[in-house]
A and B are shown apart, each in its own frame.
Chain A
């Protein structure tokens, strides 16, 4: 199984500042023949279903504000929120869909400082 490890576990950032969440996979999730990284990012708020933010490691989902961006390749990935807004308080998860079982990171709790 591919193990996904996020860092940090929690993060407090002032409003308007940059927030960065890292995700590392135990093996590459890059499908080299397609040059696609099978990596997604989700936002999870209490009482709501997960919301897809980013897929293929860097493609922003329709309707997601452009302050959210994803980067990385192979085993190391980053979710960046360029200017933190109050509504971004949530837990963020990375997830690999390269191989079954599809595994999630442990989550990063993002708060306002």
Chain B
């Protein structure tokens, strides 16, 4: 069974930093692109970042470029999102998702509050 579990969320002040982690199990982690998607309170879904299965290609939504960094450690079957210079508008539930063209599997999400 494919499982994704996020961790590392919490409350942080504006301008602060936070690192999210997502641990994958039940599949060959190093065969898949991985993504982060977020949902701000009362808002819709927003794709945040992707990383290729070997970590050699990364993509970001414009609103986080230069502030967020996606990375992965295939030996630990984990993907990370380093979030710096956080803003109130980054407050959201952050989901880790496995990308196979489309987002088939999702974690339960982790709340990040910037206040």
A residues neighboring B (CB under 8 Å): 38, 40, 42, 44, 48-52, 55-56, 61, 93, 95, 97, 100-107
Contact = CB atoms under 8 A, between A and B. Distances in A.
A97 B59 contact: no
B75 to A, nearest CB: 26
Contacts, number: 55
Contacts of B107: 49
Contact of A49 (B46, B47, B95): B95
Interface residues of B, number: 20
A8 to B, nearest CB: 15
A20 B97 CA distance: 27
B1 interface: no
B17 to A, nearest CB: 23
Interface stretch (B7-15, B78-86, B98-106): B98-106
B93 to A, nearest CB: 9
Closest 7 CB pairs of A and B: A49-B106, A102-B47, A55-B102, A40-B102, A104-B45, A107-B44, A100-B59
B113 interface: no
B103 A52 contact: yes
Contact of B44 (A61, A102, A105): A105
